[in-house]
Amino acid sequence: MNMYFEGSSNVTLLFNFWNVHGPAGMVLSVFVVLLLTVVYELLKVWKITVGKQKSSPNTSPSTAMSFSQNKQSCFATVIKCQEGSSSLANSPSEVSLTPTENTDNAADSSTAAKRRRWILHCLQTAIHIVQVTLGYMLMLCVMSYNIWIFLGVITGSVLGYFVAFPLLNHT
């Protein structure tokens, strides 16, 4: 096997059955390699998108922090009112001021969030496996040292990047 690039239209890519003889087969092979490279770039964006979904909780941390600060200030106000007036401590309206929390819903949402993160992690792992496999296959195509296949991989990478990465701003 030659260890330099050549422009021949005869090449075997990846498997014995992908044996190219002639210009028509080379054009088709370059097109297939180009499409595989575009899919590779789309997989990279999809994996990043799944990672963003996995790391973003249902409520933002700033919202949770402001809620807890408001809750603390409400408790402080109730305590001050209780210390200053004994008639307020005995009134039925005090019970209505006390916030109630449903711990069952919190536990269910926590379990659902953990399950969702686990499923997204498994999806991200599967995408990664496909991406790595496809990447190595494309590398082996380039290692055929055929200039046309090499240009197909480069063009597919450019086209895939051009199409795929603007999608990151929309997610």
For position 58, what pLDDT does the model report?
54
Which pLDDT belongs to residue 73? Answer: 47
Coil, helix or strand at residue 151: helix
Q: What is the pLDDT of residue 169?
A: 79
Q: Are the C-beta atoms of 14 and 36 separated by less than 8 Å?
A: no
Give the chain's mean pLDDT.
79
- 35-76 pLDDT tens trace: 999 999 999 999 998 988 877 765 444 444 444 444 444 444
pLDDT of residue 54: 78
Q: How far is CA 24 from each of CA 16, 20, 29, 33, 38, rounded to the nearest angstrom? A: 18, 9, 9, 14, 21
pLDDT tens digits, residue range 100-112?
Answer: 555 566 678 888 8
User: Mean of the pLDDT values across residues 24-36?
Assistant: 96
Give CB contacts under 8 A, 24+ apart, made by 56-59. 57/113, 58/109, 58/113
Average the pLDDT over 128-139 and give the result.
97
Is 87 in a helix, a strand, or coil? Answer: helix
Q: What is the mean pLDDT of residues 137-160?
A: 96
Which residues, at least 6 apart from 137, have a Cβ–Cβ distance to it below 8 Å? 14, 36
Q: Which residues contact 142 (CB under 8 A, 6 or more apart)?
A: 149, 150, 153
Among candidates 36, 69, 21, 5, which has minimal Cα distance to 135?
36
Answer whether 26's CB lies under 8 Å from 147's CB. Answer: no
Mean pLDDT of 86-113: 62
| Global confidence as pTM | 0.67
Nearest to 127 by CA among 54, 53, 52, 40: 40
Report the pLDDT value the prediction gives residue 141, as an integer from 0 to 100.
95
